[in-house]
Amino acid sequence: MGAPMKTRLGLARSVLGRRMLTQYLAAALLPILALAVLDYLHVTDTLQQARDAELVRDTLRKAWGWNGVVVSDYTGIKEMLVHGAAKDRTQAGELSMRATIDVDMISAIYIQEMRDSVKRGAIPVALVDAAVRRVLRAKQQLGLFEDPYRYCDAQREQTRILTKESRALAREAASQSIVLLKNAGAVLPLRKDLGSIAVVGALAVDARASLGSWPGLGQPADAVTVLEGIRRAVGPKTRVSYARGAAATSGDQSGFAEAERVAREADVVVAVVGEIDDMSGEARSRTGLKLPGAQQALLERLVKIGKPVVAVLMNGRPLALGWLDEHVPAILESWFLGVEMGAGVADVLFGDVNPSGKLPITFPRIRSMHAEQSKNNRGQQGVYRHEDEGNSISAG
């Protein structure tokens, strides 16, 4: 049971009241459904949750009577320093231990700092013993003492991952996730026997971006790119030309001439534009919502040629599409669709699948927003990209 409020409501910047949390997390269900609880990075009543003894220790454990394992979020204890909630690693660890956070994920503060805290009496041994007992109990309930590798099966990996059946399901999920934002003049679906199709954009061949911002152990080599998907789908007499044109990460326009050349020679232009995988997801922010890099400038040049243009968007957030809506006849929102992205996009482009996806979010007409930021809460340490130049800076 869980719902990532840290992601939906803005990571650590979310300021949530205890009333909302206690209503949101049904106390009666915890003893039944949850073996462990993740202590999110967000803030409750201006207090970072990793040090919130009142919420974790007093409410979750004492008031609700729940005695499972509480795991810090990824680097959550270390990030107390970023929030200004602790002066150093030692204080961050001690506050978290007193709040009964049992497992320190990634920060390594418990391993490196808490031995000395116990020796000088800042952390009672009984507090450590209680945390250890809860972790050992969970391992026992999971059967890990009898077989520590019971959930690891090399044979199952070979027979169930990237099989014909699993890839077919991934392709179906990809095609059904695509949203048709615009189709003026019935540009779509495209015929598979067109004389020539120009595919433009660095993202059209970006296998890593196809996997999205949280690919796990997904390998780019296993992903079908949009260009590859289109080439597989068309008839044997259709010529598919490709030009890089522009990238999401740079304002470089040196590829425009080649993109314009292949567009002039084609019956239709498929422009794959949007964001790379690293521009969205957790701890990834941008200062604006327009197409990054020189991609809109590229589209403006392509539209002037006069050939039908289909924009295929790859992105992990809503983008400001005012100009595209006014000038590009067909727009597909394809997100990051995984290993069968190219096949799923081609299925929709050529009419094998009717696009049925619906937007779960609103697309703005404005280009940028300026978020209010508390002077005492700097949010999760992450990467922020300047809207115009596409360069990234670390914030912390």
Residue bearing tokens 């999110």: 40
Helices (H) then strands (E): counts for the chain: 16, 14
What's the CA gap between 264 and 270, in Å, rounded?
12
φ, ψ for residue 195 (rounded to 5)? -70, -40
| CB-based contact 138:35 (threshold 8 Å) | yes
Beta bridge pairs of residue 48 = 43
Q: CA-CA distance, 203 to 243, in Å (whole number)?
A: 11
Q: What is the 3-state secondary structure (H, E, C) of 289-304?
A: CCCCCCHHHHHHHHHH
Judge whether 344 and 167 are in contact, CB under 8 Å: no
Task: pLDDT tens for the chain, 396 residues: list them.
Answer: 344 444 444 444 444 455 555 555 555 555 555 667 776 555 554 454 445 688 888 888 888 888 899 999 889 899 889 888 899 999 999 999 999 999 999 999 999 999 999 999 999 999 999 999 999 999 999 999 999 998 888 888 888 889 999 999 999 999 999 999 999 999 999 999 999 999 999 999 999 999 999 898 899 999 999 999 999 999 999 999 999 999 999 999 999 999 999 999 999 999 999 999 999 888 788 888 999 999 999 999 999 999 999 999 999 999 999 999 999 999 999 999 999 999 999 999 999 999 999 998 888 876 544 444 444 445 455 554 555 444 444 444
Is-catalytic flag, 73? Answer: yes
DSSP letters for 322-370: HHHHHH-SEEEE-----TTHHHHHHHHHTTSS------SSPPPSSS---
Structural domains in the chain, CATH included, are 5-141 (3.20.20.300), 161-385 (3.40.50.1700)
E strand or H helix that includes residue 97: helix 89-98
Of 39, 73, 277, 347, catalytic: 73
Kind of pairing, strands 196-200 and 239-243? parallel
**Beta-bridge mates of residue 395:** 382
